[in-house]
Structure formats: C-alpha cells, structure tokens
Structure 1
Amino acid sequence: MDFLKRLYPIGIQTFEKIRNGNYLYIDKTEYVYRMAHSDSNYIFLSRPRRFGKSLLTSTLEAYFEGRRELFKGLALERLETEWTEYPVLHFDMSLGKHLDKEGLERYLLWMLKRTEQKFGIESEIPDTNARLTDLIHRAYEQTGRQVVVLIDEYDAPLLDVAHEEENLPILRNIMRNFYSPLKACDPYLRFVFLTGITKFSQLSIFSELNNIKNISMLPEYAAICGITEEEMATQMDKDLDILAERLNVNREEVVKKLKAHYDGYHFTWPSPDIYNPFSLLNAFADGRLDSYWFGSG
C-alpha cells in the first residue's frame, strides 16, 4: 500500500466498507471466532462510545453471513473451516435516542420492516414483540438455519431518560417488550450479541434473559475493542514512522507522545494498555496530537 495515500477508517463502522475500500483494519477477527464458538450463545459487551463496538458488530454480521472473501489475510480466515451462512438480524438502536413513547415504537417497527424486506417478508403485525418473534420464526423456516441477532447500542433509547422518573419506566417497558423474544425464541437462535454503554443489568431491561454472558470485564476479551500497543507496533508499524517524521521526532519519542495522549484504558485486570481508536486514527490521519475523543462529545 502507498502510505502517502493511507486510508484511516475514521467514523466508518461497516466492516465491508473498510475491507473493500482498502482502509487500515486492526485485526480483531480472532475475537469474533472466539465468541462464535464459546460456551454461551448469548453475549453482551460494554465499552465507551467511539470504541469500535459498531465495527465489531458489523464484523460479526459479515462472518455469520459467510462472507469469507472479506476476511482474506485475517486471523479468522485461518481459524474457520466451515463458513456456514446464517440469517442475520442486525438492529442499530443508536438512532432511537431522544424519542417519546410513540416515536420509539415507530422506530422499532421501521427497523423490523427494513429487516423483513431483507428476507422478502411482509408483515403488518403492530406489536413489536410479536413481530420480532414472527421474523425470527420465518427467517428460520425460510433458510433452515438458526438465526443470528445482533443489537448495537441496546441502551441508546434509554440513556437520555435514565434519571427521569416519569419517562424511564415507559420507554423501558417498550424496550423490554421488544427484547423479550430473545429468550422465548432460544431454539431458533444460533447467536445473540448486544453492545451498550451502560452495565447490562443497570436498566433492568433483561430481567428474563438470565442466560447472557457479560464479557465486558473478562481478561480474554480485554483488547476486543480499542488498539493495543502491540497492535500499534506491528499492524501500524510504517504509520508510526510516518507520524514521527511529520512531528519531527524519532520513533521512540512519537510512541511516548501517543502513550501520554491516548493510552491508559483498562477494562479488566490484568489488561494490556488500550489506546482509544478514534483518537489514535485521527492523530495518524492529521499528523498531529489533539483531544479528538473528548472533542467529539
């Protein structure tokens, strides 16, 4: 790759776009394989905003859709031998913020309708609970394979009302109703993955879903999002040299500067030092050090 034209995936959260567009991709696919073949088929991951949760979700989607060509040269290509194609239901809750009861219900129905269209399914069921149940059953019947459900930012519709006594219970009941099929449809589900910012139990949405594994603080998943110092040294080796040249310092000095600005995240113990990916990629793209993550809020 011509490093004068190095493309950094700033704000790009779609695995397919990064791979087809020849953007820099820090290989996290070993974690995808580990999750897909773990003891639990229900997994939850909490990380701060702009830490790569959506990209990880998109990577899982590509994997479960059997899109082997996107994983060429990555760890998962060596690990996986079957590449079974599953029906995938991918729901992004991030646009469900700042909505009232009617707005949130419309948003959920809109997402269900878009997902139904992917499978050529038509439905007029008005209740989101029954409609999601129906979608899972019909996707299973249509393909003959268990269904994968990916829910990104599960808690987004509730974050701005988390401390409101009046609105929180109303919106929480809507979301609890929407998510409840995840337990009822267990025989039809191959894998369920949810991401969020808050603790999984904090908003009391999943009182019934007691079979989910929270990997947020497990040592084996400490580096699932973000960029470790080892990943930066190996997968961004030439990038470091170019940034050092642009800052007019040597490589050792540029590593120290990056560490001082963007290092220091630890999600478990023991944990490698995790660099904020949004800040790090912006620094490499701009050739300067700035408070990118803080400024984005």
Structure 2
Amino acid sequence: MKNLPLSINTLSKIIGKNCIYVDKTKMAYQLICQPGAFFLSRPRRFGKSLFIDTLKEIFEGNQELFKGLYIHDKWDWSQKFPVIKIDFSDGTLKNSERLDKRIYEILYDNADNLQIKLNLNRDIPGTFGELIRLSDKKYGNKTVVLVDEYDKPILDNIENSKVAAEMREGLKNLYSVLKGQDAHLQFVFMTGVTKFSKVSLFSGVNQLTDITLNTQYSTICGYTHGDMERQFSEHLDNVQWEKLKYWYNGYKWLGNTNVYNPYDILLFIHNRMLYRNYWFETGNPTFLVKLFQKNRYFLPSLENLVVTEEIIDSFDIEKINPLTLLFQSGYLTVEKTFTRRQRLMFQLKIPNFEVKIALHDHFINAYTDLVNEKIGLQDNLYDCLEQGDVRGMVQVIKRLFASIPWRNFTNNDLADYEGYYASVLYAFFSSLDAEIIPEDITNHGQADMTVKLANHVYVMEIKVVDNANIDDINGDDVNVIQHNNSALKQIQAKGYAEKYRGIKGITVHEVGLVFSTTLKNLLNQ
C-alpha cells in the first residue's frame, strides 16, 4: 500500500517516499506543448503548489520522476529550460518594505540556483528582467517563470485596505516585467486564490491566459471520484462512498466533473475515516463574514445564487464584492451554467456538507455572538423541527434572540432590518442541514422562507414592526396570538402553504414570525 502524501508539495519527495500521486501530467503536457502564459485561481490547499512543482520538474528535464505517468513517453526530455520560481507561501509580509526585501531574496536565490551573477544596483523590475535575460542567454533555451501564491501578500493584509493596496502595487511592479521580457520567455504560469482585475494588478501582464474557468482544465487541481476509486481504494476500504461525496465532494469549475479537496481526503484517511471539518478549519473566513455584515447581505440568497462571470471573475481591493471572494476562496462553487440574453450565467452553490455547516456556524457566531450557547440552541431547534413542534420552535427562536448581547445592536439599526432576523434564522436552519427555499414563490406571491426537515415543511413569513404592543408577547391564548399575527395572516390569506398540502407523508406548518424593534425579539407568533 502506497503512503499518503500528507503536506507534501514536491513531486520528487512524493515519488521518493512511495506516496500516492494523482497524475496531472496530461493537463501539464497540454499546457506546455507551446509557449504561453497562463493563470489559475483555486482555493487554498487544493494542490496548486504541487502542480507548480510538477511543471518545474518537467522543464528541468527530470525524466526519472515521471516513469509510469502520462507525460513520460511524450515529452522531449533532452530539452532543459532555466526555471525561475517565485513563491510567496512562506510567512506573512506586513508592509511594502518587507515585500520588496522578500522579492529581492527570491530573485537572488533563483540567480544562485541558476549560477547567474546579477548586478546588485538594479531596482526590482531591473533585477527580474536581467535574471530572465541572462537565464535565456546562459542556457540557450528561453526562461520559464512559475509563480505560486502570487496574491498571498495582498490577502494577508486584506483587512487593511491601505497596506493591501501597497502590496498590490509592489507585486504589480514585479509582474509587469513579464510583458517586457516576452521575447525571452518560454512559459509563464501563475497561481493564487484570487484573481484581481486587470486594471488593478494584471495591466502589466495582460498576455496571461486565464484557465480558471476553462473546461479543459477543470480538474487540474483536486481529486475526481475516479481518482479516489483508482488511487485510494486500499486506503478507503469499506468507506461509505455516498457519505464521503456528501461531506467532501462538490467543487466544480465548469466541465461536468466534481472534485474533492485533496487536503480533506488525505486527513480523512489519516484520521481513520473520521468525518469532520479538515479543510475549512485551516482558513479564517472572519473577514468574509464581516464583509457580509457590512453590506447587509441577505444570507438566504445564498440558496439560489445566479451571477454573471463579471461577479466571480475578479475584484478590486477598494471595492470587494463578498460573493466574488466567497467563490474564489472555495466557499461557493459552480453548480451549473446557462445563457440568458446571450450572456453566460453561473448558478453557484455551497460545495458540500463540510463547508455548509462550518460556514453557517461562522455566520451564527458573527451575527449573534452566541459561540458558547450555539450548540444547545441548534440541538433544541433541530428536535423541534424534526418533531413538528412549532410552539417549541418558536420558544427556541425567542431564547435565541434573547441571548444575543445588547452590544450587537449599539451604533447600528440592525433591529429595524428584516433581513437581519431572516439571515440569523437562515444561518441556524442551514447549520442543521435543513433544506431551505428562500422567497418561496407561489401563484399568489412568495413566502419569506420555507424550511424542510424530516417529514415536515415550515412555510415562514417574517415581519418587523415598530412601537409594538409589548404586552402581546405574554399572550397565552392561541386564538388571540393568531389574530394579532400579521405575518401568519399573510401566509393564510395568500395561500403560501397550499402547494405543499396533499403530499403523502408530509406535514405542513404555517409559521408567522413578527419581530419587535423595541424588544429585538419575537412579538406575536
């Protein structure tokens, strides 16, 4: 049985340690058969660094490493190209001076590896350009430039827009050299998590071909289900394949094939097939969640998200679209594409159970500050939903909002915002893996939210009222409560629940939730 390539990003170590290698050399071969410059965006820990290293070994002519792999009998191994590798994955850079120092270190390390002596008095563009030209001249073959984690210095400072902008300009100063040195370049490949717009970072390297959403390279990173069955069959003996797919599969960038995150799979096997959050816990979506709060994003909209390519393609530091960052960071993926008015449209989704549960737990923490109380509320809410206990569910919702610290509502008007209450409830319901239909359309209008769990369907309407009669919250008479519940009245008057009635084995519940801006909690229910 071959070893697991845990935390190994170099091909020589994988081969030397008899580790499993999922062969990506067919796509590598397709890329490098002709000169070009390419860009690939993929989430963290998806195998970008290993692919970069594989390209490096191919161009340096290390044929022995590729025995038994697709490219072995197809590539001309007599060709050996000088390779410049730029990698920003190590450490965190917090100002432009440290970035410039790191760039110089990277360039001089490459010069030492290539046995090239550089002029010590040049600026960064001059040094990089000289390194490319001298490499071409010394080795008689044009230079290959491979850039890994090209955007990490920016993302490490994304919460400080001023520093992030300085990092962007510093990197632009470096990458712009590639355009001017085109005559000396054989191949360029850049990877990162995000894609910044051409005007902000790539204006100097506009010859790059973006393969992020190219169907030919949709599985260039990650493991397909076929890879899993072929390469990991011994390690995954007796695994419940459907459960594995449900937890960790689902990432897709066009094409028809979903992929698993390699980091998830390797740790899942290493931990004796224990299902838990592996990939998600390596990241910190705090900035993303803050961005959603700042923009007052209606979280239920994540259930039926249709965007143009413009939204998912790129962003600028000064105006970051939270959906763009959510997609490029791997918290959303492509479900399907279609054409509307001759424009390519993307329907997005949360890729799998791991991301869904963990992401909504983070939303709950941020929107309610109920980190410690959360699990108890989730358990109680799940039990009520599963049992069809509407009155119990309402009481849990009351406890939920009663537990939110008052400071969450200071210096803001969240309590007046219907979308806030809907977003908190959506995050809780989603964290229970309930099926949610936001703005559930009927022939008489649309309910705010329909929640499905077990054999129960809950059709919900949410309203927020000012100057509410606080005494009503203590009403015990069901008829009085229903009489005063304007949200419930709307559900019944519009017949929002009728489309679910008569379905065998399903119990339908109408739930009107009226929140008071004074109480910051439920009033009538």
CA RMSD after TM alignment: 1.7
**Secondary structure, aligned partner of 1:148:** strand
Report the counterpart of residue 278 of structure 1 in structure 2: 263
2:278 is aligned to 292
Match of 1:207 among 184, 203, 207: 203
The whole-number CA distance in structure 2 between the counterparts of 1:74 and 1:213 is 26
Question: Which of the pair has the greater relative contact order for Cα pairs under 8 Å at 6+ separation?
Answer: 1
Matched, 1:259 2:254: no
Does the 8 Å CA contact 1:64/1:84 hold for their aligned counterparts? yes
Q: Which residue of 2 aligns with 1:105?
A: 100
Name the residue aligned to 1:46. 41
Within 5 Å, which residues of 2 pair with 1:128-139?
Answer: 128-139=124-135
Q: Does 1:188 align with 2:184?
A: yes
Q: Distance in 1 between matches of 2:199 and 2:282?
A: 25
Match 1:64 to one of 42, 55, 59: 59
Q: Provide the rounded CA distance (Å) in 2 between the counterparts of 1:168 and 1:287.
A: 41
Q: Which amino acid aligns with 1:291?
A: N
- How many residue pairs were aligned? 281
- Deviations along 1:2-58, whole A, 9 cap, x unmatched? x2xx411111111111111111111111111011025x6000000000000000000
Residue type of the alignment partner of 1:36: I
**Structure-to-structure mapping, 1:125-164, within 5 angstroms:** 125-162=121-158, 164=160
Partner of 2:71: 76
* Contact 1:96/1:156 (<8 A) preserved: no
Partners of 1:44 and 1:200 within 8 A in 2: no
Aligned equivalents of 1:7, 1:53: Cα separation in 2: 20
CA distance in 1, matches of 2:209, 2:184: 18
Alpha-carbon distance in structure 1 between the residues aligned to 2:116 and 2:150: 24
What is the deviation of 1:257?
Answer: 2.1
Deviates more, 1:71-80 or 1:168-177: 168-177
Take 1:201 and 1:42, find their aligned partners in 2: how far apart are those partners?
A: 17
> Which residue in 2 is equivalent to 1:8?
4
Deviations 1:140-178 (A, max 9, x none): 111111000000011111113335442233222211111
Is the Cα contact below 8 Å between 2:155 and 2:164 reproduced in 1?
no
Contact between 2:82 and 2:136, CA under 8 Å: does it hold in 1? yes
Distance (Å, rounded) in 2 between the aligned partners of 1:8 and 1:34: 27
Segments of 5+ residues of structure 2 without an aligned counterpart are: 284-525
* Paired position in structure 1 for 2:113: 118
Question: Quick one: distance in 2 between partners of 1:206 and 1:96?
Answer: 24
- Are 1:20 and 2:16 matched, yes or no? yes
The alpha-carbon distance between structure 1 residues 86 and 190, as it changes in their structure 2 partners (threshold 3 A), is same
Give secondary structure in 2 for the equivalent of 1:117: helix
Q: Secondary structure at the match of 1:79?
A: coil
CA–CA separation in structure 1 for the residues paired with 2:196 and 2:147: 13
- Corresponding letter in the other structure for 1:146: K
Q: Is the 8 A contact 1:96 1:107 kept in 2?
A: no
Identify the residue that residue 436 of structure 2 maps to in structure 1: none
Cα separation, 2, equivalents of 1:203 and 1:256: 44
Per-residue CA distance 1:31-87 (angstroms, 9 max, x = gap): 11011025x600000000000000000000000001110000011113324441100
Look up the match of 1:248: none
The DSSP-based 3-state class of the residue aligned with 1:32 is helix
2:73 is paired with a residue whose SS is helix
| CA distance in 2 between partners of 1:163 and 1:237 (Å) | 43
Compute the TM-score of the two structures, normalised by the length of structure 2. Answer: 0.52
Distance 1:72 1:206 in 2: 37
Distance change in 2, residues 1:280/1:190 (3 Å): same
Instruction: Give distance in 1, aligned partners of 2:161 and 2:278.
Output: 34
- Structure 1 residues 202, 140: CA separation in 2 closer, same or farther (over 3 Å shift)? closer
> What's the counterpart of residue 81 of structure 2?
86
* Paired residues of 2:144 and 2:185 also in contact (CA < 8 A): yes
Shift of 1:200: 4.4
CA apart distance, 1:237 = 2.4
- TM-score normalised to the size of structure 1? 0.90
**Distance verdict in 2 for CA 1:83–1:99, change over 3 Å:** farther
Structure 1 runs not aligned, ≥5 long? 245-250
Contact 1:97/1:158, CA 8 A, preserved across alignment:
no
Q: Is the 8 Å Cα contact of residues 198 and 206 (structure 2) preserved in structure 1? A: no
**Shift of residue 96, structure 1, vs aligned partner:** 5.8
Structure-1 separation of matches of 2:271 and 2:263: 12
The answer to which structure has the higher strand fraction is: 2
